Amino acid sequence: MSRVRRVGSVKLELVSKSREAALAAVQVFNNPLITFKSEMFIVNMIIAWTYLLHAHYRSQKIEYRYYEITSSGRKKFDKTKHGADKYWELERCLNDDNSPIDKDAANNLRFLIGLRHEIEHQMTTKIDDALSARFQACCLNFNDYIKLLFGNELGIDKYLSFSLQFTSLTEDQTTTMQEYRDILPAHVTRFVDGYDGNLSEEEYNNPRYAYRVLFTQKIANHPGQADKVIEFIKPGSEIATNINKTYSTIREKEKTKYRATTIVKMMNDEGYSRFNMHHHTKLWKKYDARNPTKGFGIEVEKYWYWYEKWLSIVRQHCVNNKRKYMT
């Protein structure tokens, strides 16, 4: 009985610390006095998810410490230099066959893990708005899973509300938020493009990976009709369909387009000096990338232009073959 109580106590403590870390992440991100938002959000949310999965594995009696089997068949647990057990990090938790996390939520977490690797040893700026859709999805996913795994009463949605703003969104601001490549550090942009480029269109657009919301000013016809700052529209409704059609048209017009020579030069400028037009041609033929159904580019007046989606694949190809393309 004492063993059961001890295990249960540790599990509850892990869940409690997990909730605290998640709440801290959101509170920091919504604090207008803090300018180090994204970095602190990512660190706290990774801790929150790690503790949450440790609690789950503990409840399922799954060993989540690193160990090796000795010649005598016993487990020898890995230790830190100070003698503490080494527990699984978040990525190892996600990779385990017993992980309860769905593919799209896991994609979101692996994105945050990769982003942390890019920014943990150097200062970054202006990534809060640009990547907030991923952060929002991470929060919603966490709330869903803590309730799913440990009960609705442990959800954190009851503690949170929408943050208030001192300014309204202008057209210039929303454009800046969408065009993150213009404001993100180059190494972060390369990571984001490379990660997104490896996802299918369905995975990229899944709300568990990035939770994107369209805002449009509401005109009220009657007093009291516009008392809520944000109102959610049913996805299949006529108004939602019309908004999405309009937005899709705007997005199509605003897509950045590149000629092949521009892409080759961009890769050369990024250090892949041996990458040339021949390599680029072989690559797009390998992927049948000029097939219009693939969505990698478009033909305009007999000239082919490539979208960002294809640029991401080219960049990742160069990263994977840097010995070949770097001087």
Q: What is the extent of the structural domain holding 243?
A: 223-254
The SS3 assignment for 45 reads helix
**The token pair that represents 302 in the structure block:** 């007999």
Asked whether 22 and 45 are in contact (CB, 8 A), the reply is yes
Looking at the fold, whether 14 and 140 belong to one and the same domain comes out as: yes
Q: What is the residue-wise DSSP string for 233-263?
A: PPTTSHHHHHHHHHHHHHHHHH---B-HHHH
Looking at the fold, whether 197 and 232 belong to one and the same domain comes out as: no
Looking at the fold, whether 40 and 143 belong to one and the same domain comes out as: yes
Report how far residue 114's alpha carbon sits from residue 112's, in angstroms, rounded to the nearest whole number: 5
Neighbours of 124 (CB within 10 A): 17
Residue 2: predicted pLDDT: 31
Residue 172: predicted pLDDT: 46
Mind listing the pLDDT tens digit for each residue in 248-265? 444 444 568 899 999 999
SS (H, E, C) 183-231: CCCHHHHHHHHHHHHCCCHHHHHCCCCCCCCCCCCCCCCCCCCCCCCCC
Mind listing the pLDDT tens digit for each residue in 3-54? 333 346 788 899 999 999 999 999 988 888 877 788 889 999 999 999 999 9
Looking at the fold, whether 198 and 233 belong to one and the same domain comes out as: no
Residues listed for the chain: 327
**Continuous segment of H or E residues that includes residue 297:** strand 297-300
Mind listing the pLDDT tens digit for each residue in 148-175? 999 888 888 877 666 655 555 444 444 4
Kindly report which listed range (25-39, 72-86, 213-227, 250-264) carries the lowest average pLDDT score. Answer: 213-227
In this structure, is residue 79 part of a structural domain? no
Looking at the fold, whether 264 and 249 belong to one and the same domain comes out as: no
Looking at the fold, whether 14 and 137 belong to one and the same domain comes out as: yes
HSE toward the beta carbon, residue 294, CA cutoff 13 A: 19
Report how far residue 218's alpha carbon sits from residue 239's, in angstroms, rounded to the nearest whole number: 12
Q: How many domains does the chain contain in total?
A: 3
In this structure, is residue 213 part of a structural domain? no
Confidence of residue 221 (pLDDT cuts 50, 70, 90): low
